[in-house]
Amino acid sequence: MPQVALSAFTNLDIYPGAVVENLGTLLTFNFELDEPARVGGLKIYVDSDTPGILGRLDLSALNDNPDFLSNLTVNQESFENFTGSGFVVTVEAGAKSASLTLPALDIADLNGLDLTTFTLTTREETDRTTQTDPVTGDQGSDLNTVEADGFPIGDYTVDPESASSRVLFADNVADLPPLPVVSFSTTPQVVNEAEGTFLVMDFSFEGEIPDGGVTVNLEGDAARIMEQLT
């Protein structure tokens, strides 16, 4: 039985864990398996703690952009759960990694910040989850829907270190929390190559580091200086 790891990231350099709708940010879900998917593929379910969050993503983009799917297949049922909080994908047979990319939708009536946690869900967890259709009031588990093709979800375990990933949804960049202020210093001031001196680079942060981390770029005034370090 394969173990699956989930990660989510965006193409927004300043906030790799944020989706900004008016920029059409691309959100990518990446799946890593510790062994190849079985014959027939491996169906994986991802849920979240935010009902309706799929409404902030352009699901129709998958029809026109085959590059948005890597070693994955989706169908009409992939995004049809009662609350619009999660989705089902099938990792193609033989694949050990796969990804799904979805662009943001800029919709006027879906305003505000949503900090959403997307989580890999196993068969047992889905079977215990009862959801209510907001239109009909019917109750049921998504498990019945995702097993329609005869390949049940949950035939995998979840990597405890990569079971979930948080994503911040915002209308525009101005809505994002302020980025932290980064300070940088080095010690010692003189590095003696013959003596094998260790150079310590110290980074300090003032403010909260956002989900997805902060990318810090360093540039020196001497060409190829990093080749002097091992």
50/208: higher pLDDT: 50
| Pairwise CA distance, residues 7 & 29, whole Å | 6
Indicate whether 69 pLDDT > 90. Answer: yes
Mean per-residue pLDDT over the chain, rounded? 81
| Between residues 148 and 185, the one the model is more confident about | 185
CA distance 103 to 177: 21
Mean pLDDT of 116-139: 61
Q: For residue 223, what are its two tokens?
A: 């060409």
pLDDT for 70 beyond 90 = yes
Q: Are 59 and 101 members of one domain?
A: yes
Statement to judge: residues 37 and 127 lie in one domain: yes
Q: 139 is written with which tokens? A: 């109750």
Q: Hey, what are 100's tokens?
A: 């799904």
120/192 same-domain check: no
Q: Are residues 204 and 152 in the same domain?
A: no
Q: 217 lies in which domain range?
A: 181-228
Residues making up the chain, counted from first to last: 230
Q: How far apart are CA 92 and CA 121, in angstroms?
A: 18
* pLDDT score of 145: 39
Together in a domain, 41 and 105: yes
Neighbouring C-beta atoms of residue 188, cutoff 10 Å: 10
Kindly state the average pLDDT of the residues 204-216. 74
Say yes or no: 86 and 151 in one domain. Answer: yes
Residue 186 has pLDDT above 80, yes or no: yes
Q: The domain spanning residue 152 has which CATH number? A: 2.60.40
Q: Are residues 116 and 208 in the same domain?
A: no
pLDDT for 147 equals: 43
pLDDT digits (tens, 9 = 90+) for 1-44: 899 999 999 998 878 889 999 999 999 999 999 999 999 899 99
Same domain as 163, residue 192? no
Q: Which helix (H) or strand (E) holds 132?
A: strand 131-132
Residue 229: count of CB within 10 angstroms of its CB: 10
**Same domain flag for 104 and 188:** no
Give the number of domains in the chain.
2
Pairing of strands 131-132, 157-158: unpaired
Give the model's confidence band at 79: pLDDT under 50 very low, under 70 low, under 90 confident, else very high. Answer: confident
205 shares a domain with 123: no
Same domain, 105 and 194: no
Percent of the chain with pLDDT over 70: 80
Q: Tell whether 60 and 110 lie within a shared domain.
A: yes
